Each structure stands twice: as structure tokens, then as C-alpha cells.
A = this chain, B = another copy of it.
Amino acid sequence: MGAHADDSSFPPVHFETHPDRYRHWRLEFPQEYGGAVARLVMDVRENEGLRPGYPLKLNSYDLGVDIELADALLRVRFEHPQVKALVFTSGKDRIFCSGANIYMLGSSTHGFKVNFCKFTNETRLYLEEMSAETGVPSLAALAGTASGGGYELAIACDEILLCEDGTSAVSLPEAPLLGVLPGTGGLTRLVDKRKIRRDVADVFSTVAEGVRGKRALEWALVDEAPGKKEFEAAVKRRLEAMVLRSKRRPMRAVKLEPLGAERRYVKVDLDEKARKATLTLRAPEGAEPQTPDQLAKAGSSAWAIRAWRELDDALLDLRFNHPGVSVLALQTSGDPERVLAVDAMLLAHEDDGLVREVTLLMKRVLKRLDNMAKSLFALVTPESCFAGSMLEVALAADRIYMLDDPDGKSALRLSRLSAGPLPMGNGLTRLQSRFLREPERVGRALEHEGALDTKAALAAGLVTFAPDDIDWDDEIRIAFEERASMSPDAMTGMEASLRYGGPETMETKIFGRLTAWQNWIFQRPNAVGPRGALTLYGRPERPEFDFNRT
């Protein structure tokens, strides 16, 4: 079961970083492209892993490496609007990236492995979103071998160049070498993104040593396999073409200031004994920018950026540092008019580059919320501010409790942000996902003018339960107690099924089908038992399998 019974012996994981402090990546803007290309150079420092005990050899990565990558992508979005294409390269000779560090995986708890994979999956999906939505496509320039998670990073890029130098290869050795899956989207992207023939994908995924240039090209695993002499020219040609076809909108740069120790808009109250945390998102408190120019000027202190960055940080903190929390109470506070004003600005200027980037940030944070392995109960009271973008937080919840207060002051307010700009991973809005049975309710809710009080919200299907003030305290208390008493595994599997009704996308296939199988395998003795393949990797003993097929 891995070396560590739990993760509490380690210091908490922090997700904030800055290019000046990167240890494993360099974010460069090569002069030859006049600033239009960001180069992400992976150059992992072996001895600076997040936790002790596993040298990060051969450009292998752990969570710390991926936190920097996620940060770099966010910086390019906000701080470097001139960038129109990304290129991934390696700072090491002959190796691009050898994937997630095996000793790190082998020594991690099941829960940490699962959370690590979820975060790396999100980062790669967000890289793809940068191409699809921001107009910044990416190129993997593999002048060395990309194996496992290294190739999974490459396959998350739009295009892959592999140097035909007689040694560089791409490979997914997880199944044959480690008895686990290429679970950071690898298998799904093979057949769903690159649409590689299933039998070819089968062969590729079982050949530990991988496939080199010419064959990799034949099998559509890469897009071009130039020789050593032609490699740099090919990289340049492809990047210049990407820059030319980029549809990135012009925008003013916004420097992402450190969030610092104090959160302004998000509060998390932990009640570890009750396995509960209360997360409160606050509305803006003062005047917020009314134009994109004002937004650029306000920069990362604008509510629309800061509050959502804080929310993202809080969610990641809850995932990694508070596994004992089973249920999140989702609350909001503040003046709904101020939120609706922000929404109105974002909607009025949706074609503006910065406004679009801010909306995409909200979208990604809400997806992070959808993907929490915690039960989510939203609580609506007269003090709440479930309006516009903040209402999406409630719509992401497994249940919504709304106080039926005698004065009718509890209220929900919709904005057009719920009509499309903030879709879930399945491509539907949260309203569409909610009303699969009665799709006409989506439009009706959106057309409603003004606030919906409890009775109206209940009638509109937006609320699960509406206890009055006599019952509220007891009902809420019992709901949380009951939920927190149930098998956390059953809750995770149940929520993963009920939250994603309707269509599936590559994204939901990665988190549903692929991740669920990987989690199963991460629990099986053939991988993580004392004689399992993951446990024994790098040791002289060979793994011993229970060969019964299941």
C-alpha cells in the first residue's frame, strides 16, 4: 500500500509559485519570435522533489514540477498577451521527459496518487483549453525521448515533433513496466484525440521501449520526425505557422500578484471532527471595473480575478491538505448587485481578450469544483449572495438547501453567465446538466427577471430542499452528519456518476472511464502490493502477479 500510511507527516502542499522561484521549468520568450512564442523548458532538478526520498532523475516529475507548469500556463494567459504559441522543450540531453516519478508514485498513499493524477490531468486539459479558447496552440519539440507522462504531456499539445536521431522515442511504458495505466489522459488521447487505430494503440501501449521517428510518424503518434540537422528548422517553421494562425485577441497584460497569506474573498472554516468544511465566497466589496481598460488597470486585485484565484487555491488546499474533509458547505456572502455588475461587464465585453481570459479562469475553477472528491452542499440563506457567477457555485453542488425564511429574503439571481460561458467538462452548462429531463426549464430560469425567492426557486427546480426556519438547523445538521458518516469511497463513485449525466467528452472520459480504471489499478495488489509492479520498480526482484483476469 505504499510506504506512507497517510500524508499528514508531510508539510502541506502550497500551490502558489512564481517564475522567479521555479526550480524545474524555465519560461522563456525567444527573441527570434519577437515575443510571440513562449518556450517552456523542462529542466528538473533531481534533488528538489516536493517530498524527500525520490530523486527526480531523467526529467521525471512530481507534483511540485506540475504546480510550476500550471503556474506558467496561467502567467502566459494573463501576463504575456503577446504570446501566440507555446513550445515545450527539455533542458536535458537526449531526454524530453520520462513522466511521473515512479518512486514518488510507489511511496505515495493511494489518496495522494489519485489527487496528483487529477491535478496533472487538469493542467493538461487547461493546456488544450489554451489552444481551443485562448488561441495559443502548443508544440511539443521532442529532441529526446518522451516516455509515459512525458508523452502524455506531448499528446496534450496540438502538434508533436520527434527528432529522428536513432535514439529518441515516444513511449507509454506504464502497462508493461509498472502494471498501471498511462492515466494522465494518455490512453484516452491516443484513441479520442489523435484517433489512433485501436490495434495500433494497443501495440504502442504495450511496447515498453516505445517507438522511434519513422514508425511513430506512420502510426500517427507524432506529426513530423525530422532528422537532427533539420529539427530546429522544423520547430521554427511550425511555430511561425502557429503564430500566424493564432486567433488570440489583443489584450493588456495583467500581472498576477501573489495571493499572499490572507484571503480576501474566500474563507474556509474547518470542522475536522465533523469531516466538514464551510467554504464561503464573498462578493466584491467596493466598486469593480466597469470596462476592460479599468479591469486591466485593477489587475489581479479585481474581484473577478482575485476571488476566483483564491477559490481555486482553496479547493486545491482542501483536496491535498484536508483529505479528512468529506462534505463541503458552500456558502456565499455580500451584495448580489455587485456580482451582477461584474457579470454584466464581462458579458458586455465578451470579445475582449482580457475579459475572455477572466471568464475562462472562472470556468476552470468551477470545473475544479465539479471534480472535487467531496460532497458539495450549497446553503442559501438571507445572508447569501448566490447571484450570477456565484450562483454557479451552488449549481455545481450535489444538493442545494434554501431557507424558506418568513420575509422572503433568501434569493437566487441568474445572469447570462449561466447560459454558456461557464460550461462543465461534459460541454453542457450546469443548468443544462440539471434539467436533462425538462430542458425547457433552462430557458425559463434564464429569462426570469430579478431575484427568485425560495418558493420561486423551488418551483423553478433550482433547489433541492427548502426547510423553514424552525427545521433549518436540525435538517442541515442531520444532512451533514449523515453524509459524513457514509463510506467516502461510495460517495466519490456516486458523485462521479450523478454529476455527469448526458453527453461525454474527451475530458469527462479522462476523469470518468480512464481515471476510474486507474484508481482501481492503484488499489490492486498487482500494482501496489508488496510484490506489485509499482512497488518493486527499480529493484532487482520481479513483480509477482495474481494472473486471474478481472
Contact = CB atoms under 8 A, between A and B. Distances in A.
Contacts of A533: 487
Given A509-B504, A526-B489, A550 B110 contact: yes
Interface string A473-513: 00000000011101111111111111111111000010011
A415 B220 CA distance: 29
A222 to B, nearest CB: 14
Contacts of A176: 482, 486
A325 B547 CA distance: 8
A448 interface: no
A398 B519 contact: no
A90 B465 CA distance: 34
A196 interface: yes
Copies of this chain in the oligomer: 2
Contact of A527 (B197, B490, B496, B518): B490
Contacts of A527: 487, 489-490
Given A400-B199, A487-B545, A205 B494 contact: yes
B197 A461 contact: yes
B490 A180 contact: yes
Residue with the highest number of chain B CB atoms closer than 10 Å, among A495, A499, A550: A550
Contacts of A202: 398-399, 464, 494-495, 498
A374 interface: yes
A201 interface: yes
A41 interface: no
Interface string A197-213: 11111110110000000
A513 B496 contact: yes
A502 B197 CA distance: 11
A519 B543 CA distance: 22
Interface in A424-446: 433-437
A341 interface: no
A382 to B, nearest CB: 21
Interface residues of A, number: 93
Nearest to A486: B176
B373 A549 contact: yes
B549 A437 contact: no
A545 B205 CA distance: 36
A521 interface: yes
A469 interface: no
A425 to B, nearest CB: 13
A500 to B, nearest CB: 8
A132 B486 CA distance: 37
Contacts of A465: 203
A549 B433 contact: no
Contact of A524 (B178, B323, B489): B489
Given A512-B513, A520-B523, A175 B550 contact: no
A198 B395 CA distance: 10
A175 B490 contact: yes
B519 A550 contact: yes
Contacts of A114: 550
A521 B111 CA distance: 13
Contacts of A275: 547
A190 interface: yes
A326 interface: yes
Given A205-B494, A493-B181, A524-B489, A111 B548 contact: yes
Interface string A134-170: 0000000000000000000000000000000000000
A187 interface: yes
A68 interface: no
A192 interface: yes
A362 to B, nearest CB: 21
Interface string A272-308: 0001000000000000000000000000000000000
What 9 pairs across the A-B complex have the smallest Cβ distances? A179-B487, A191-B501, A516-B516, A493-B517, A195-B437, A504-B504, A512-B513, A187-B497, A195-B436
8 contacts: A191-B436, A206-B486, A323-B550, A487-B521, A487-B526, A488-B547, A489-B521, A492-B550
Given A191-B497, A512-B512, 20 more contacts: A111-B548, A111-B550, A175-B487, A176-B482, A178-B490, A180-B490, A187-B494, A195-B501, A199-B464, A202-B494, A203-B464, A206-B494, A374-B549, A484-B547, A488-B548, A488-B549, A489-B520, A489-B524, A513-B513, A516-B517
